[in-house]
Structure 1
Amino acid sequence: MIFHPHQAFKALALTAFSLFFLNLHTSGTILKYVNPDYAWLSLCAAYLFFFLVFIQFFRLWSPKNKHIPSCKHDCHHHSRRKYISYSVLTFPLVTGFLLPPQTLNATIAAQKGAGLLLQTENKSLPSEHEEIAVDRKEVQQAEFDQRISALERSRVIHLTDGVFEPYYERINADPHKYNGRTLKMTGFVFKEKSLQTNQLILSRFLITHCVADASLIGFLAEFDRAAHLKQDMWVEIEGTLSVTSYKGISIPVVNITSWKEIAEPKEPYVYPLYIKLAFTHHNASFS
């Protein structure tokens, strides 16, 4: 029997990938990469890799009398290409195991060009979350209406993770409607160069599928100790909503009345909330 080292390497690489994905799930760090509703895909990949390891096991050895074609002048080229492919395969494993996952922060927001200007440009766009809901965090229409009704009638708005995105959209789209109400929320500090010393943006990253499509959302906040809060600091605040003008557009601003520094949440990101579509046999329609 002839042992094939390159087949053994493939088996080890597949095993490492499987263990890497399983470790992400058991440690909970998978939430730093993808929307929880899509985490099952990486778990399926882990089991698929284990299955491929089983298949690969039968390729480790071959009979001695099995004909092996001569490589001639193509041997060197084939060997070089093989080592390049091995390097490409190994790199994500090494970085994945050795480099701890990092939460998206103000530095990433700045690199993405995120900020108040981008938010004000996009705030008037109609939301598609109420139209299509496929493989997303879904709620029934009645539950969604109940949450929005709570926003409309409450004098104290709690911006919890479960309602962060729809509440943010509505407050940002019509800030005058919520003028004078109390807002409670948590977020990290993001400061733009264009802001005054008493201003900051209290931010969260909105993840639709994975961190690659992350977008920064948040509220402009004002208070006298804003200059003392460091970039990326996580805080829990309470304040009063009012309206200000930024680049000629009316936007909501939170006048902070109380705050405290907190540790980074276990789930630092927020996710879109979609309405589950209900179809009947008689009158299902598509727009």
Structure 2
Amino acid sequence: MKQSSLMGAHYLTRAFILLTLAAYIYLLDRSDSLHYYIAPKMELWVSLCPIPLACVGISLLIQALFKRRRSTCSCDHPLSSSVVRNAAVYGIFTVPLLLGFLLPNQALGSSAALKKGMALSGQYSTEQTLKEKFKSPDIYNEEFTELARLLYTEPVIRVNQDIFYETIGALDLFKKEFEGKPIRLSGFVYSDPSLNKRKAFAFGRFLVLCCTADAAPFGVFIKPEHTVHFPKDTWVEIDGHIHVTQNQGKEILSINAAQIRKIKQPKTPYIYPSDDSVAKLKRELAKK
């Protein structure tokens, strides 16, 4: 009888966790908030998870309430009766769920960037002239090089949301060749004491590969032409010119900002790696 009651308690706990997780994912999907936590290519699959989770949870609930349960198995792994051990194991699932329900759904910002460390950029006529001007240093940068050739012919470089990371990467790789070129881009304001002393700030986005657990702050050094002040995490759009500046003894990509406008946070605030940034840019340029 004691073993049966213990099994029922475990089944109830597992059913609660699974059903709560299903409800949480469902609510995120209904409120269009999944993009705060995972990459777009995974949203469809995650949005379908509540169905199997609910089925398993309901099955466990029925077994616990109506005592339709069998012995766990014959593999000598009895269910633990230790309160501390069970609290630790189930806490791994319940604590994140509790935080998920209690904390607001919002994009990562300056606080997360401060903890992870903002990585400022520091890492190019005729077609023949462009090929001579922009030569890939290795096979790993060929995509950046092709992007740079396309971007160089534009009167104003508009950093597209879909290829933000690749565009900044191309500009950073060939920053000296792009010196003085007009540019427009948007992101959130990130600042720290070292930047404040230079009357500058970092302009950030979070690069997400899979989910927000692997999100990395990705920034550009901004030097306003006029004194401005924006609270951290304010979303702004910047018009300026590309410049090469020194930061901690290294040459980095920077932008001399002529105009800075406050904007609303975009629906999808994060940036993601593109599977074919060159093709996307060509399609964008063809629409003009």
TM range (shorter): 0.7 to 0.9
The match for 1:101 is 105
One-letter identity of the residue aligned with 1:21: I
Give the TM-score normalised by structure 1.
0.75
One-letter code aligned to 1:62: K
Q: 1:37 to 1:180 in 2, by over 3 A?
A: same
Distance (Å, rounded) in 2 between the aligned partners of 1:266 and 1:238: 21
Alignment of 1:177-188 (within 5 A): 177-188=177-188
**Matched residue SS, 1:228:** coil
Tell me the CA shift for residue 186 of structure 1. 0.6
Q: Tell me, what secondary structure is at the counterpart of 2:27?
A: helix
SS at match of 1:93: helix
The letter for the 2-side match of 1:7 is Y
Task: Tell whether the 8 Å contact from 1:130 to 1:275 is kept in structure 2 after alignment.
Answer: no
Say if 2:184 and 2:239, in contact at 8 Å, map to a contact too.
Answer: yes
CA contact (8 A) 2:225 2:256 kept: no
Question: Which amino acid counterpart does residue 29 of structure 1 have in structure 2?
Answer: S
1:42 aligns with 2:43: no
SS in 1 for 2:56: helix
Where does structure 1 lack aligned partners over 5 or more consecutive residues?
A: 68-73, 132-143, 277-287
Q: Does 2:31 correspond to 1:30?
A: no
| Structure-2-length-normalised TM-score | 0.74
Q: Is the 8 A contact 2:190 2:202 kept in 1?
A: yes
Please state whether the residue corresponding to 2:266 is helix, strand or coil: coil
Matches within 5 A, 1:239-258: 239-258=240-259
Instruction: Please show how residues 1-287 of structure 1 align to structure 2 within 5 Å.
Output: 4=8, 6-60=10-64, 61-62=66-67, 77-78=81-82, 80-116=84-120, 119-120=121-122, 123=123, 149-195=149-195, 196-275=197-276
Give me the whole-angstrom Cα distance separating, in 1, the residues matched to 2:32 and 2:189. 24
1: CA distance, partners of 2:21 / 2:27:
10
Aligned position for 2:75: none
Q: Deviations over 1:180-202 (max 9, x none)?
A: 21110111111232223421111
For the residues of structure 2 that align with 1:57 and 1:257, how far apart are their CA atoms?
62
Q: 1: CA distance between counterparts of 2:254 and 2:212?
A: 27
CA–CA distance in 1 between the matches of 2:257 and 2:67?
72
CA distance in 1, matches of 2:9, 2:216: 45
Kept after mapping to 1: 8 A contact 2:182/2:239? yes
CA drift at 1:161: 0.5
For residue 177 of structure 1, what is the amino acid of its counterpart? E
Residue segments in structure 2 that go unaligned for 5+ positions in a row: 72-77, 124-135, 278-288
Alpha-carbon displacement from aligned partner over 1:207-234 (angstroms, at most 9, x marks no partner): 1111122222222111244552222211
CA separation in 1, counterparts of 2:79 and 2:25? 35
Distance 2:107 2:222 in 1: 22
Aligned length: 251
